Amino acid sequence: MALEPLNMKPREAIIHLFECWDVPLILTDEEDGAMHDVTHAAPANAGGICWPDKSVIWSKYQLQRHHDLCGLIHELAHVLIDVLPTHADEVDSPMLALEETHRYLANISRKGSDSWMQNFQTGSGYWPYTTWVERQTIMTGSFLVAQSKKLLDATGAPTFQRYKRRG
């Protein structure tokens, strides 16, 4: 069976994905993302992760643009791989596969996704300037790691099975 996008608006789809993974998402009224209890700040200061309990705190004002929603998906991927963000290898890990799958499921536009990946670095340079073959090699490796960790199934769909939160 082919993986299909969720029949929801991107914002609602991402909130739904957090619920399916049982990752707490705390939406705040703070516009600038200067969040309390954040131990890992997200790019663009939109929120971040409270690492001890692995909840994601995000400004509800940063849920409109697809680029910002990609940031929220990125923080979810950090929690799912269960590695401190400062120690995470974002290339040789399930992160890219999880992000790509969640962007697809949430109907994130290609423009928003491309904008998000603009500053992502691989071993040979920035993502937009890597060859198609290199991108495919990196993504295939990430999908294989995600499948071996039982985060994605053989079709690339999320399993929604992960470790139990501590605390």
Coil, helix or strand for 49? strand
- For residue 109, what are the domain limits? 10-148
* Contacts of residue 84, Cβ cutoff 8 Å, sequence gap at least 6: 40, 51
In a domain, 95, yes or no: yes
Per-residue pLDDT at 1: 55
In a domain, 27, yes or no: yes
Give the helix ranges, DSSP H, for the chain: 10-21, 66-81, 95-105, 110-117, 132-148
Per-residue pLDDT at 29: 83
Q: What is the pTM of this model?
A: 0.91
In a domain, 163, yes or no: no
Per-residue pLDDT at 36: 64
Q: Which residues of the chain have pLDDT under 70?
A: 1-2, 31-36, 44-45, 163-167
In a domain, 51, yes or no: yes
Q: How many C-beta neighbours within 10 Å does residue 160 have?
A: 11
Total domains in the fold of the chain: 1
